[in-house]
Chains A and B, each alone.
Chain A
Amino acid sequence: MAKTLVEKIWDAHVVKREEGFPDILYIDTHLIHEVTSPQAFDGLRKRGLKLFRPQQTVATADHNVPTLNQHLPIKEELSRYQVDMLTKNCAEFGVELYGLGHRYQGIVHVIGPELGITLPGKTMVCGDSHTSTHGAFGAIAFGIGTSQVEQVFATQCLQQSKPKTMKIEVNGELGKGISAKDIILYIIAKISAAGGTGYFVEFAGSAIRSLSMEARMTVCNMSIEMGARGGLIAPDETTFEYIKGREFAPKGEKWEEALTYWKTLYSDADATFDSILTFNAADIAPMITYGTNPGMGIGIDDKIPSTSAQPTSEQLSYQKALDYMGFDDDASLIGKPIDYVFIGSCTNSRIEDLREVASFVKGKQKAADVEVWIVPGSKQVEAQAVAEGLDKIFESAGFQLREPGCSACLGMNEDKIPAGKYCVSTSNRNFEGRQGPNARTLLVSPLTAAAAAVTGKITDVRELLEA
């Protein structure tokens, strides 16, 4: 029977299927971090259980960690306690930890791929909604709650109902200055922040196929922002090339065996999806959000849609969002002064993102009254940036290259945007208060963020590229 990619991987992991019950799904790899795991470890202790498969569990500290002076003890008491608790729990239950100070430490969704832990055909979970990132390799990867973290600890399985499948095709060529981030912001703006709820999304089409692995990760990362549980892309030569030789990737005979299997991982030509959407890459402009959910996005040269154009039942929430952002109906965002630029997060903190920003800002200066933070996704990304001399470019442009972590994406550490300030950000969520109480977030690509950093205002990067 013809199957979609999701069905192939899902069905290969069903331990038990019974009418009226969710499937018992085997999980190959469980990633954990300090925020959503302590209560799950506690649960194991209360039940008197060991961790069932510690060797299939990998931990890092990312959400709470400072991005300056990581060699010093964490100043904030509760953050320090949570990070210490992770260290203690990993030691007690035998989990490999890439904690602060380790050369592999970094954002959980950056280190999995770069270490070769993320592989095609795997099932992967993490107590973090952006686990969908790993789908870029053709894996079923999704975020779970803490009770489920405990369930995977105890059984290496999850009870999950098989999701519906959606295919999103993007065909054609992207314009100059347009990147993966613009693709995904465009799709979410088209189908809304709930348009993918209940689905696993397979991204396909020539525009997706031509993306690098890191760019594919950016697309899959934000699947959750349209409500989808996960997003994935069928593995191909680009995927295999990226994985080959990485620390934990299969080697030798195992590599050959893996390749043979991975090459069977695609949706059959006559497979049926529950929903299919098609977009044209040429229609995509540099994107920016103007509201308080990722579905409220426009092309940077478009005007903010008016409240009266929204369905009546949604006008109250829409107006509330514009009020929060300090924006008006029908206004243009171009030229609007901004206060902060944040380049980082599991969406856009990889070496290609940093290279793209560096090549744009080389020889330029940041605007005087804008603060610019660049937070690499991992120690390895940071080391690579330094090896390539990107740190020098950032320094002479007045950009601050910090140490790895989730940072201002969610403001759990000290990296918060002050109330009322505008932050042009390469992260994934523009929710109220996400980057700090009353902070105002505008989601964009790394290139659009770099343009705003240089001009001090919202700028159509295409004009600077053509100049």
Chain B
Amino acid sequence: MKKFETLSSSVVPLPIENIDTDQIIPARFLKATTREGFGENLFRDWRYDSNNQPKQDFVLNNPTYSGKVLVAGKNFGCGSSREHAAWAIQDAGFDVVISSFFADIFKGNALNNGLLPIQVSDAFLAEIFKEVEKNTDTKLTVDLEAQTVTIDATDSQESFEINPYKKSCLINGYDDIDFVRSQIELIEAFEENKVFKFY
């Protein structure tokens, strides 16, 4: 996993609520057996019409908007457990997703891949959308160490929560498997002493 570093970037706004993983990456594009290449089908049915022509009114097709931060309405990533959703967002060049609420499994999947999900208040989310509407180049600074996100132009700032263990994984680029593998003796001892041997 690559290390997460402090970033300052313009944003891509998507002020829609309950964006589910079928919108992020529709099921018919889940047939690949590697982790790469899902970015081109990110938000596929919002991005392209039935003739595969880009829909001009969708934000990812609007060159005015670009950046490493995707900002979306509340309950982002609900639905299926497909990690392909996190892979697709990352593959399309995003390092951070900001929303006022995330679905559990999506949040875990994102963290396991070094894509940082940041939960902000409804008010701060509205403030970001408002600033981006005023100025499409609005930049946000994301400081994981300090756990803050700042709207550069106004200096308006909010702190966010993250599990300290996941934070250190992101900052150092570690993954969970190495950590749990190091506990294998403990796991074997647990198996020996299980109260329910009949499973």
Contacts and interface: CB of A to CB of B under 8 A. Distances in A.
B15 A12 contact: no
Given A12-B195, A145-B112, A151 B176 contact: yes
Interface in B56-110: 73-75, 78-84, 86, 101, 103-105, 108-109
Contacts of A122: 199
B145 interface: no
B98 to A, nearest CB: 16
Interface stretch (A76-84, A385-393, A456-464): A76-84
Given A127-B81, A227-B75, A257-B198, A16 B163 contact: no
A301 to B, nearest CB: 26
A39 B34 contact: yes
Contacts of A39: 33-35, 83
A334 interface: no
Contacts of A68: none
B45 A197 contact: no
A293 B20 contact: yes
Contacts, number: 192
Contact of A431 (B20, B184, B191): B20
Contacts of A198: 104
B187 A155 contact: yes
Nearest to B106: A145
B180 A194 contact: no
B153 interface: no
Interface stretch (A369-377, A396-404, A433-441): A433-441
Interface in A357-384: none
Interface in A180-209: 193-194, 197-198
Looking at B75, B103, B198, which has the most chain A CB atoms within 10 Å of its CB?
B198
Contact of B23 (A63, A151, A433): A433
B103 A197 contact: yes
Chain A residues touching B, range: 35 or more
A437 B50 contact: yes
B31 interface: yes
Contacts of B164: 20
B104 A144 contact: no
A438 B50 contact: yes
Interface string A95-132: 00000000000000000000000010110000111010
A290 interface: no
A150 B30 contact: no
Contacts of A229: 104-105
A64 interface: yes
Contact of B176 (A127, A147, A317): A147
Contacts of B33: 38-39, 42, 81-82, 85
A90 B82 CA distance: 20
A159 B196 contact: no
A54 interface: no
Contacts of A146: 83-84, 109
B78 A193 contact: yes
A438 B196 CA distance: 49
B122 interface: yes
B199 A28 contact: yes
Contacts of B113: 147
Interface residues of B, number: 59
Contacts of A79: 31
A293 to B, nearest CB: 5
A16 B186 contact: yes
Nearest to B100: A313
A310 B81 CA distance: 28
Interface in A15-44: 15-16, 20-22, 24, 26, 28-29, 35-36, 38-39, 42-43
A52 B104 CA distance: 27
Contact of A316 (B15, B27, B79): B15
A293 B73 CA distance: 14
B105 A145 contact: yes
Contacts of B134: none
A127 to B, nearest CB: 6
Interface string A412-448: 1000000100000000010111100110000000000
Contacts of A284: none
B176 A433 contact: no
B109 to A, nearest CB: 4
Contacts of B108: 144-145, 148
B133 interface: no
A29 B83 contact: no
Nearest to B182: A155
Contacts of B103: 194, 197, 227
Nearest to B1: A147
Interface string B154-196: 0000000001110000000001110111011011001100111
Contacts of A325: none
Interface of A: 12, 15-16, 20-22, 24, 26, 28-29, 35-36, 38-39, 42-43, 47, 49, 52, 63-64, 78-79, 81-82, 85, 119, 121-122, 127-129, 131, 143-148, 150-151, 154-157, 159, 161, 193-194, 197-198, 224, 227, 229, 250, 254, 257-258, 261, 292-293, 295, 313-314, 316-317, 320, 410-412, 419, 429, 431-434, 437-438
Given A147-B109, A159-B179, A412-B28, 12 more contacts: A128-B80, A143-B105, A144-B108, A146-B83, A147-B83, A147-B176, A155-B183, A197-B75, A227-B78, A411-B28, A412-B30, A437-B45
9 contacts: A12-B196, A15-B187, A28-B199, A82-B31, A151-B176, A157-B187, A159-B176, A410-B80, A432-B45
Top-9 shortest CB links A-B: A145-B83, A145-B109, A38-B33, A78-B31, A143-B81, A147-B112, A317-B17, A146-B83, A129-B81
Interface of B: 15-18, 20, 22-23, 26-28, 30-35, 45, 50, 73-75, 78-84, 86, 101, 103-105, 108-109, 112-113, 122, 126, 163-165, 175-177, 179-181, 183-184, 186-187, 190-191, 194-196, 198-199
